[in-house]
Amino acid sequence: MDLVIDVGNTFVKFAVFQEDEIVFQTSTEVFNFEKEFKNILKKYSKIKDCIISSVGNLNKDDYKLIQKSIHVLVLDSETKLPFQNKYKTPKTLGVDRLALVSGAVKLFPQKNVLVIDAGTCITFDFISKENTYLGGAISPGIRMRYKSLNNLTANLPLLETKLPEHFIGDTTGDAIHSGVVFGVLSEIEGAINQYMHKYSDLTVILTGGDANFLSKQLKSSIFANSNFLLQGLNHILQFNKAE
């Protein structure tokens, strides 16, 4: 058994894998990391290896706890990856994006894959059927767009995410919803069309916190997978264990 840990800014996701299958999954706030980690090791005593991906802040004591308990692989720009990385600034490439591309390699081998992660930011990552990662794009996520309209203007309110009934907003609130939600949908559809124009046999994956909300509205044929990043991290761990 292996343990996958994905550390965000506020929450930590844990997943216990038996080979390629998730047998247990949970999440907790970062401050509660030690308690949850110990509970998992107590429940799954056969865990021997762990991979950790962190885009947030995990304190030194938590890292020491992991390293003292099991063998751990900390994902960074030096980690061996199951694909060729053509990104020109690999040290600035987020570890979450590395994991997503690895998930594409594992689940869709020898295919042109565009992975769209709709979370705090919306990231687009493309890997070719030759197993080569070429890069992608980064733009603000849905909540970031709502917050920026409120923070950077004097009079616009901060609204909760809502699917507009019509693309023409006849109130300020409806206009904000239309601009944010339909703007994101149009951006994603536009990106997919650009990639498909060059790669007609494209496979599109949508993941991240807003994936379910967006997938219901997108016209393009996509696969929605909420566990894609965790599966990618597990693939990186297995790849390194086999080396």
Task: Please identify every residue annotated as catalytic.
Answer: 96
Looking only at the bridges linking them, the beta strands covering 21-29 and 11-18 are antiparallel
Name the band, by pLDDT with cuts 50, 70 and 90, for residue 60: confident
- Averaged pLDDT for residues 198-202: 93
**87 marked as part of a ligand binding site:** yes
**63 marked as part of a ligand binding site:** no
Helical residues (DSSP H) of the chain, grouped into ranges: 33-43, 60-69, 95-107, 142-151, 172-177, 183-198, 211-215, 228-242
> Cα(228)–Cα(243) distance, rounded to whole angstroms?
23
**201 marked as part of a ligand binding site:** no
**190 marked as part of a ligand binding site:** no
Q: How far is CA 216 from CA 121, 163, 185, 220, 235, in A?
A: 19, 11, 11, 10, 28
Please say if the pLDDT value at position 57 is more than 80. no
Please say if the pLDDT value at position 243 is more than 80. no
- Model pLDDT, residue 205: 96
- Averaged pLDDT for residues 37-56: 93
Distance separating the N- and C-terminal Cα atoms of the chain: 18
- Model pLDDT, residue 9: 78
Looking at the chain, the whole-number percentage of residues with pLDDT higher than 90 is 86
Please say if the pLDDT value at position 192 is more than 90. yes
Domain with CATH 3.30.420.40 in the chain: 2-74, 84-233
Average confidence score pLDDT of the chain = 94
Name the band, by pLDDT with cuts 50, 70 and 90, for residue 160: very high
Q: Which CATH superfamily is domain 2-74 in?
A: ATPase, nucleotide binding domain (3.30.420.40)
**What tokens appear for 97 in the block?**
């994006």
**173 marked as part of a ligand binding site:** no
- Model pLDDT, residue 63: 87
Phi-psi region of 73 (alpha: psi -120 to 50; beta: other; left: phi over 0): beta
CB atoms within 10 A of CB 176: 21
Amino acid sitting at position 25 = Q
CATH topology of domain 84-233: Nucleotidyltransferase; domain 5 (3.30.420)
**What tokens appear for 203 in the block?**
């496979």
Q: Is the pTM of this model over 0.85?
A: yes
